[in-house]
Chain A
Amino acid sequence: MLSGKGGTGKTFVSVNLAVTAKNAICIDCDVEEPNGRLFLKPEESVTEEVYTKLPQVLEEKCIGCRKCVDSCRFNAMGFIKNSPLVFPEVCHSCGACSLLCPTGAIYELKRPIGIVERGRNKEVQVITGILNIGEASGIPVIQNALDTKITEKSIMIIDCPPGSACSVMESVQTADYCLLVVEATIFGFHNFKMVYELVSLLQKPCGVVINKGDYTYYPLINFCKENNITILCCIPYQEKLAQIGANGEVASEKDDETRMIFSTLLDKIRMEVRE
């Protein structure tokens, strides 16, 4: 589930599709702002801490050769008072310093950066990556959340973060099919083109869901026609849906019309994936 622009309804579509599919695994990869769990309210949750590695210097072994400092391409190591100093905020945990240290003076400590929560809502497995506040990158948390076994019969729904940067790339790479949730506005369309470019580059088949809109925003409709992109469905803006969503409820459990929309959408996706 992708969108480029934030707030177009990725989580809304993910959650409703998961509930409709029943036998589903719903993974929230928007680890900065994970919201799927607010709707799916998983039970019997187990949480696992996610770590990254942080280099530490054993001063008694350090000979001051500066190899670690000079090899770090992120400037995460400085040389102060004849001894290396680590700046954790910019460290990418690549391991170059410990690998290159000739005396084994650098070892790595586990540093917690977030958690992955695994629980269920009836038949839906709900997996959520939650990044700690103040961390610069959520990639390791996304990787941990995506590291989930899937059976033949179930469908895995991956709710991506907005944008089209590295964290989105991480989430898209494992997918068989990409659903692009678009808002029919100039902003939505502009950012949609950016993620479409990304999906095309990775050669992933994709389809479009227009949310909070209709078929009258022609720049989008024409773009889809020209590029042969299937518009799978269009969910109009409705106050009742906004209300249900605002209260953290799942629309397809509350509203028959929405249930129909998602059950048709799911069938269409299944057909597209088979093709």
Chain B
Amino acid sequence: MKKLLILSGKGGTGKTTTTAAFIDFSKADAFADCDVDAPNLHLIAGMKGSPQKTHYYGSEKAIIDDKKCVDCGVCNQNCRFQGIIRADGRYSVNPYACEGCGVCMYTCPVGAVTMEEDIAGELALYWEERLFSTAKLKMGRGNSGKLVTAVKKQLEQGHDNEELAIIDGSPGIVCPVIASISGVDMVLIVAEPSLSGISDMKRILRTAEIFQVRMAVCVNKYDTCIENTEEIKRLCQREGIPFVGCIPYDEKVSVAVNEGHSISKINCPARDALYQVYENIKVYFI
């Protein structure tokens, strides 16, 4: 399976809109949403049937047994994550701060602390007609990189032919993004022609470089600032990164999205431009 990953660095540049359109253009029958922090692709992917859901166990959380606890505070002294709180004269675990490292359990002199598996999210797999792997991280949980890896594994296990799979990534540059990059054939970066957009694009380019993955860049809403769009093009040229197109700001995009379908089904300038981007990027990995 060839995998194309859509990233941006900055949030809200149009990753999911692009992903949904590419799924239709390529008639891909396998795709995934790796933005487990704020998944959205399912809202416009038009999936049939209900997904098969499984719990995702991210890590463990400490639990203090009140009956055994002698109030010595050793756990609190050794925890580096402020995971132990003292309230009403008792020590307890703050599950949002607990990293599951086990230091409290290892150091408790009376064995009052145990570790329990924590449900940190939910994986969903749609398998009727087309394969769509997605997940949702429980609020405030960490280890989202591991969940992203699980989303990709679900996709790979269900689909073993040579065809194209399209993956929607998450904003930012840390663990979920790093986990989504590993093993893909190409990354398309959807940039935004603003000062913030350029700054974030540079950071994601440098992150992707570490993994030596092929990259291409397109600019969304390019006409909101032509000068910055030109700046992005020059930057790509300097760094030898293929520049695969510009998409105009188009009011019809949010109208289509709000009705729950992909822009690919609507006749408008943004759709045509996205189709061109798809055609341009295809040559690099097919």
Contacts and interface: CB of A to CB of B under 8 A. Distances in A.
Interface of A: 4-8, 11, 32-33, 35, 38-39, 71, 73-74, 92-96, 99-100, 131, 133-138, 161-169, 173, 183, 185-187, 190-191, 194, 197-198, 201, 217, 239, 242-243, 245-248
B194 A164 contact: no
14 contacts: A33-B10, A73-B60, A94-B101, A94-B103, A96-B101, A99-B106, A134-B178, A134-B207, A163-B171, A163-B172, A164-B139, A168-B140, A169-B140, A201-B140
B141 A166 contact: yes
B13 interface: yes
Contacts of A166: 96, 140-142
B106 A96 contact: yes
Interface-central residue, B40, B81, B103, B140, by most chain A CB under 10 Å: B140
A73 B78 contact: no
A226 B262 CA distance: 29
Contacts of B10: 6-7, 33, 35
Interface in B215-253: 221, 224-225, 228
A168 B99 CA distance: 15
B51 interface: no
Contacts of B260: 186
Interface string B1-32: 00000000111110010000000000000000
Interface of B: 9-13, 16, 37-38, 40, 43-44, 59-60, 78, 80-81, 96, 99-103, 106-107, 115, 137, 139-142, 144-145, 170-175, 178, 192-197, 199-200, 203, 206-207, 210, 221, 224-225, 228, 254, 257-258, 260
Contacts of A94: 80-81, 99, 101-103
B108 to A, nearest CB: 12
B78 A99 contact: yes
Contacts of B137: 164-165
Nearest to A164: B139
A100 B106 contact: yes
- Scoring A92, A190, A197, A247 by chain B CB atoms within 10 A of each residue's CB, the highest score goes to A92
A161 B38 contact: no
A194 to B, nearest CB: 6
Contacts of A8: 11-12
